[in-house]
Amino acid sequence: MRRTALLASAALLTALIPLASARAADDPTPAPAPVDRFEGEVPFANQPAEGIFTWGGDSDDPPTLRLADRADAPEGAKVLSGTYDISGYGGFTHDFAADQPAHDWSAHKGIRFWWDGQDNGKKIAFEIKDGGANGEASELWTTSFTDDFTGWKQIEIPFTDFTYRTDYQPVGGIDHVLGLTGMWGYAVTLPVGVKGHFAMDDVELYGRADQSLRASVTTDAPVHPVKEGGTATVRVTVATTGSAPIDEPVSVRYETGGGSAEPGKDYTPVSGTLTFPAGTASGASRTIQVPTLKDRSAEPAETIPVKLTVTGAKAPAETPQVVIDAHGLPYLDRELPVRKRVADLLSRMSPQEKAGQMTQAERAALSDQGDIATYALGSLLSGGGSTPTPNTPEAWAKMIDGFQLQAQATRFQIPLIYGVDAVHGHNNLTGATIMPHNIGIGATRDPRLAGKTGAVTASEVRATGVPWDFAPCLCVTRDERWGRSYESFGEDPALVQSMETIIQGLQGRPDGRDLSRDDKVLATAKHFVGDGGTAYGSSTTGSYTIDQGVTTVTRQQLEAVHLAPYKTAVRRGIGSVMPSYSSLDIVGDGQGPVKMHARGDMINGVLKGRMGFDGFVISDWNAIDQLPGDYASHVRSAVDAGVDMMMVPYAYKDFRTTLVDEVKAGRISERRVDDAVSRILTQKFRLGLFEHPYADTTGAARIGSAAHRAVARQAAAESQVLLKNAHGVLPLKKNQKVYVAGSDADDLGNQTGGWTLTWQGSSGTHTRGTTILQGMRKAAPDATITYSKDASAPTNGYDVGVVVVGETPYAEGVGDVGNGHDLRLSTADQAAVDKVCGAMKCAVLIVSGRPQIIGDRLGEIDALVASWLPGTEGDGVADVLYGRRPFTGQLPVTWPRSENQLPINVGDASYDPQFPYGWGLTTLTKVPQGGAATLKALALAAAAAERTGSDRAGREIVTRARLLVQQKAGSEMTAAVAKPFADADHLLLTGRYAAAVAELTQAYRAAA
């Protein structure tokens, strides 16, 4: 899923400039304090020097800036002027010098500046930085103004308007208090999707700070559900910055009324005033009680707003509401079958409520949390890197409970279904157990282990209050230049199908009866269909070269390669399916390339019709925006094609309004909407969300536990593929002196890859885990292990070298080859390999999401290991290096000799790779003796196993034959050996054991 819109760089929003205050003795209001006059007194520079600098999501996003002479400048002779054309995010910052003290703005009411309006109707974010060590390590506080005017206008922003940023904080937050005594600057985020120019002048602090800046009134919750006849208690609290007592009285006038509940019939109206005298301690509370009345009728939920008028402090952001719970209606009866509950609820819903259920918003994009009830939203999600602060299980649960509480203010109190991309563990959560990416799981050839990794992921995800996972990816990767290759279990649909045991790990039994458990989640099969078959050069998305491109196939190829995994997923009871960004071009159907989100023949016809999928279809991130036509056409095309819920992270209001309008106009049928909403509600009932909408944190203690990490450790070990092992270099001996080098030996971020804490991932230590180097030192605590990342330390005197090299993290099309990436090791990694392997026996581990071209160095390397992206448990890699476990992994994709061979896959007519699909040497395993005679006997045994349906015996027989071939072939691979060897592995996975042994016999004869 694409997540660009969320990703603010660490430099995204920074800080301001010195403060010249000095309050006149006879004037309690301080004079305006200049921050930036744009006359040249502040240079264009980065920290630690004070300066103005730009930033953006990619190379095209940072705006251009200049100090321009303007006759109409509001102050002085110059203004800050610039142009921009932003596709992701971009803007500019004025940071104060990091080697100077921060500035004190606490004497002032707010900040103001002049803006040259272009009347484009766009919101412009303005941020300030508070506290911390410098502008890059402070808290971000944000607000915005709308450019809906022409010419110069002074924008005044009281500090009380700034709110704490929840989608990104460079240091994870400090104290969540806008103290104003340690300020580091300001930043402006320019609007996306509009090409334009701007001008700004005279940034200054203004006014006198009042108590409302330091004191605020809050309520214990924005929504207070209560059963009919009960009494709701609203707690009102006054608090101050720094927890000092209030120095002026604060009064809170309250009055009920204005909601859907009828005073005197549904509740007893109340009004009055709460008083907090001067000197009241920060944190003091008073309560308001609202009695509700009981009648005998079944009713939907009814609301009672408690209007608050605050004097002397900042008022709550939201008007608290008492909600009388819905009661007596059939859909609330948990004893009824789900289909009857769905039918009853659907019959009561308005078109607007149905449209809301089909709408999914990004949690950080909500204009106001009250929008959940206002727009009757059905779902929220966290995109990659969209996390609460602090990023802890408790904060996740609290955040999601807060969202679910807002949903209780809707008529039928339909709970949200919250989704995350937990694609290799709960990878958005700091401290979670991070599994190998799917490419490594495919290398294990261990379906039971795949199921266990899914179960661990589900347990950790559900324990934070999240019931829905956008995983697994069932793509069949056919070209390793694709930046999403590591999201696939492999290039063979039979391998992908065998790994779909992960669905049961996530969801439980296929009939959905386990979904309400506290350790299961709804799973998502993605990306339907053909995303792994996109042709290199066919993408039209930005600078991508292959991701989101066009898959051109015959119908036979489509069925055999790309649709096959979805048949298995539907049979396994998958709860949701996500279409691909890519286009499908079926040879001979006359349609040409059509975006998958508009292919009703595939979604309605094949998935829901022929396959019988009864879950719901969720769009990818903003995917409908890629469809042709205007926005209404986007909505019509996707809904009519069978997409049931739209992931419209920032456009949730526009989508819901447009959908309602299209239904009213008859351009989208009510029947289609009812089908979509029924599918969504069915899964919400199956998940038990109506009975238990809030987080069940019973399993939170298991997050990152030793038991969970043991599963990830096993997966990391089994995913290691031993490609070459001359002279028996591996396994290492614990008494050997080992020289370790390479960029990925001691880098947890490189080891975990993309989709780890953020969308793209990052190098370095950002979560809890063990690097490969740390694992080696734990595995051989008494051994001499020297680490030199760049191999600059002396190399003499060592028994063996271990060089751990590979890729740095990326995700999706950002990682496409040709988009700043290739399949070769970096210059530094190549140098490390050359130096170490030139000085001693060596093993090279390649940590990557796809094969790397290594043939030109293969002769100097004694042992070569495909380590893939093993996750947080480097101990698992050390386990096979030191022989605690045997190497058993097999290649899930073909390892090419050069990029020119791509795409290259098992079954190709011309097939001459460096290492074939299915290749993987073993250690600690005895290879059968007897050569051709043994293979002949194995062929007879395989045929017998196939006749009797003895799958376990059949697999063991083929494995023995494979070991014989690998021993004879060694690392001198030829096409005559590679093709039958790879074909045999495919035959094994499809249960044709006799044919597999026949292919292996052919490979054996061809081996030198």
pLDDT at residue 628, rounded to an integer: 96
Instruction: Find out whether 896 and 759 touch, Cβ atoms under 8 Å.
Output: no
Query: What is the percentage of the chain residues whose pLDDT exceeds 90?
Result: 89
Single pTM value for the model: 0.86
* pLDDT, average across residues 505-513: 98
Pairing of strands 842-847, 863-868: parallel
In 3D, which of 993, 776, 778 has the Cα closest to residue 867?
A: 776
Angle at 77 between CA 71 and CA 80, to 5 degrees: 95
pLDDT at residue 13, rounded to an integer: 30
Burial class (CB in 10 A: 0-12, 13-18, 19+), 912: middle
The residue count of the chain comes to 1008
For the annotated catalytic residues, the residue numbers are 620, 812
Residue 904 CA to residue 893 CA, distance in Å, equals 9
Residue 101 CA to residue 804 CA, distance in Å, equals 43
CA atoms within 13 A on the CB side of 395: 13
For 172-218, how does the pLDDT look when each residue is reduced to its tens digit (9 = 90+)? Answer: 778 777 888 899 999 999 998 788 999 999 999 999 887 777 889 99
Residues 6+ positions from 275 with CB-CB distance below 8 Å: 249, 250, 251, 252
- Which two tokens mark 870? 């093993």
pLDDT at residue 166, rounded to an integer: 73
- Check whether 660 has a pLDDT greater than 60: yes
- Check whether 5 has a pLDDT greater than 70: no
Residue 477 CA to residue 918 CA, distance in Å, equals 15
Burial class (CB in 10 A: 0-12, 13-18, 19+), 354: buried
Burial class (CB in 10 A: 0-12, 13-18, 19+), 73: buried
For 794-827, how does the pLDDT look when each residue is reduced to its tens digit (9 = 90+)? Answer: 999 999 999 999 999 999 999 999 999 999 999 9
In 3D, which of 42, 216, 11, 30 has the Cα closest to residue 105?
A: 30
pLDDT at residue 221, rounded to an integer: 96
Angle at 225 between CA 397 and CA 518, to 5 degrees: 35
Residue 295 CA to residue 229 CA, distance in Å, equals 8
Residue 410 CA to residue 323 CA, distance in Å, equals 9
pLDDT at residue 242, rounded to an integer: 67
Residue 537 CA to residue 535 CA, distance in Å, equals 6
In 3D, which of 377, 352, 335 has the Cα closest to residue 344?
A: 335
Residues of 595-605 as b/e, b for ≥16 C-beta within 10 angstroms?
bbbbbbbbbbe
Asked whether the CA dihedral 694, 699, 705, 711 is positive or negative, the reply is: negative
pLDDT at residue 89, rounded to an integer: 85
Helix or strand (DSSP H, E) at 82: strand 78-84
pLDDT at residue 98, rounded to an integer: 94
* pLDDT, average across residues 268-276: 98
In 3D, which of 720, 714, 710 has the Cα closest to residue 443?
A: 720
| Span of 79-93, 550-564, 573-587 with lowest mean pLDDT | 79-93
pLDDT at residue 170, rounded to an integer: 85
pLDDT at residue 601, rounded to an integer: 98
In 3D, which of 510, 478, 508, 506 has the Cα closest to residue 491?
A: 478
For 392-430, how does the pLDDT look when each residue is reduced to its tens digit (9 = 90+)? Answer: 999 999 999 999 999 999 999 999 999 999 999 999 999
- Check whether 467 has a pLDDT greater than 80: yes
pLDDT at residue 975, rounded to an integer: 97
For 150-167, how does the pLDDT look when each residue is reduced to its tens digit (9 = 90+)? Answer: 999 999 999 988 988 877
DSSP letter at 543?
T
Residue 759 CA to residue 12 CA, distance in Å, equals 16
* pLDDT, average across residues 131-148: 94
For 827-885, how does the pLDDT look when each residue is reduced to its tens digit (9 = 90+)? Answer: 999 999 999 999 999 999 999 999 999 999 999 999 999 999 999 999 999 999 999 99
pLDDT band of residue 22 (cuts 50, 70, 90) is very low
pLDDT at residue 208, rounded to an integer: 87
Instruction: Find out whether 923 and 730 touch, Cβ atoms under 8 Å.
Output: yes
Q: By three-state DSSP, how is residue 275 classified?
A: strand
SS (H, E, C) 852-872: CCCHHHHHHCCEEEEEECCCC
Angle at 297 between CA 402 and CA 342, to 5 degrees: 55
- Check whether 1 has a pLDDT greater than 90: no
Residue 896 CA to residue 917 CA, distance in Å, equals 10
Burial class (CB in 10 A: 0-12, 13-18, 19+), 820: exposed
Residue 855 CA to residue 835 CA, distance in Å, equals 17
> Which one has a higher pLDDT value, 9 or 535?
535
- Check whether 7 has a pLDDT greater than 70: no
User: CA–CA distance from 667 to each of 242, 602, 603, 647, 663 (Å)?
Assistant: 57, 21, 19, 21, 6
Q: Look over the chain and give the mean of its residue pLDDT values, rounded to a whole number.
A: 94
pLDDT band of residue 18 (cuts 50, 70, 90) is very low
- Check whether 728 has a pLDDT greater than 50: yes
pLDDT at residue 87, rounded to an integer: 79
